[in-house]
Amino acid sequence: MSTSFFDKPAEEQTDSLTQFAHHILIQYGIKDAEVECINFEFNATFSVTTDSGQRYALRLNINSTRNEANIVAEVQWVRALSRVAGINVPSPIATLDDQFVISALHEESQQLIYGVMYSWLEGEEIGDEPTLDQLNLVGRSIALMHENSIDFALEANAQLPTFDDFFWGTEDYLFSDKSTLQPEHKDAIQRAHDLIMNYTKQLYAESEVHIIHADYHGWNLMWHEGQLSIFDFDDCGFGVEAQDLAVALYYLDTPEQDAALLDGYKSVRPLPVYSENAMKALLLQRRLLLLNYLFETKNAEHKEMLPAYLEKSMERVSAFLTDVTQ
């Protein structure tokens, strides 16, 4: 992978990837379209509007570590969920060759980029200020997803990670030789890591493992005319239900919000079994996974967040160690 491309300003990277997106769209039989980059973080996502008015979302996995088999698995699961009443997801779009996952060499970065295109979801993301009614529906949708994923099986050409390790299949930038943490920070995080993994092992021993979304938050949820839709399945994998709930709860700010989401879940099926300390462990793990990402990412805007995020993370680590070791 060429570092020169990722050292360029974000605007230049976006321009290059937008031209690349036009090239990719030929595989779908789309030659004339309005293409706009609407998100450039872990992936580059484009709004595609054809001359006939059809609209799609094209995702290019430019910063993601997901491979072709992972994306094939994602598409298989989304297609299965689309047949479940009460779960609203975008529809994967096939190429002219009837393929749902495409790949092409991006010359400027010298990176083989995988892509997938979905139908467009109308509405707006619920973001970080959801209403309690919206959170109740979020809880219901998580429960429906869990209920209908227990028996889901991938086909032979698909593969997903299992989230029984600390880094959920991503590269370690906290403890490995690539770590730039100060020794005192690394020591505290290591102690938290050991406790988190103890709780994780217990959950995996006591819970059923099946495919989960693993990135359930307001920026991956669309609201339109009173209807909730779920998107961005790029992080899905095999885990326990408490891990999915922990991700969703991580982004909430008040006990009332937590209760609204959990009440929605319980209106469909019982909550998974987990202790209070186990949930605290999973919530901290989410934060430390994001910290690990900030050490690894090439996204300049995200890199700037690292000092403040690290400081707050160490406060959370200290509080966790105090809480669970008393």
pLDDT of amino acid 6:
81
Same domain, 87 and 164: no
Identify whether 228 is part of a domain. yes
Number of structural domains (the chain) is 2
State how far the Cα of 63 lies from the Cα of 163, in Å rounded to an integer.
Answer: 20
pLDDT of amino acid 3:
57
Same domain, 32 and 115: yes
Same domain, 108 and 213: no
Give the CATH number for residue 177: 3.90.1200.10
Identify whether 310 is part of a domain. yes
Same domain, 141 and 34: no
Identify whether 126 is part of a domain. no
Residue ending a domain, choose from 67, 92, 120 = 120
Least confident range of 41-55, 233-247, 262-276: 41-55
More reliable by pLDDT, 303 or 30: 30
Same domain, 30 and 138: no
Q: 96-137, pLDDT tens digit by residue?
A: 999 999 999 999 888 899 999 999 999 999 999 999 999 999
Which DSSP category does 297 fall into? -
Same domain, 87 and 7: yes
Helix residue ranges per DSSP H, 148-275: 183-206, 241-250, 255-266
Identify whether 127 is part of a domain. no
Identify whether 125 is part of a domain. no
Same domain, 60 and 148: no
Strands 55-60 and 227-230: what pairing?
A: unpaired
- The mean per-residue pLDDT over the stretch 80-99 comes to 96
Identify whether 220 is part of a domain. yes
Domain of 95 in residue numbering reads as 3-120
Q: Predicted confidence band at 24 (pLDDT cuts at 50, 70, 90)?
A: very high
Mean pLDDT computed over every residue of the chain: 94
Give the CATH number for residue 25: 3.30.200.20
Give first-to-last CA distance, the chain, whole Å: 47
Same domain, 68 and 214: no
Residue 280, helix vs strand vs coil: helix
Residue ending a domain, choose from 88, 120, 152 = 120
pLDDT of amino acid 277:
97
pLDDT of amino acid 2:
45
Same domain, 260 and 300: yes
Q: 78-85, long-range: CB within 8 Å, 24+ apart, which pairs?
A: 78/118, 78/233, 80/148, 80/152, 81/145, 81/148, 81/149, 84/144, 84/145, 84/148
Same domain, 90 and 150: no
Same domain, 229 and 276: yes
Write down the pTM of the prediction.
0.93
Identify whether 194 is part of a domain. yes
Residue 272 pLDDT greater than 50, yes or no: yes
State how far the Cα of 286 lies from the Cα of 297, in Å rounded to an integer.
Answer: 16
pLDDT of amino acid 236:
97
Residue 1 pLDDT greater than 90, yes or no: no
Q: 151-205, pLDDT tens digit by residue?
A: 999 998 999 999 999 999 889 999 999 899 999 999 999 999 999 999 999 999 9
Same domain, 137 and 261: yes
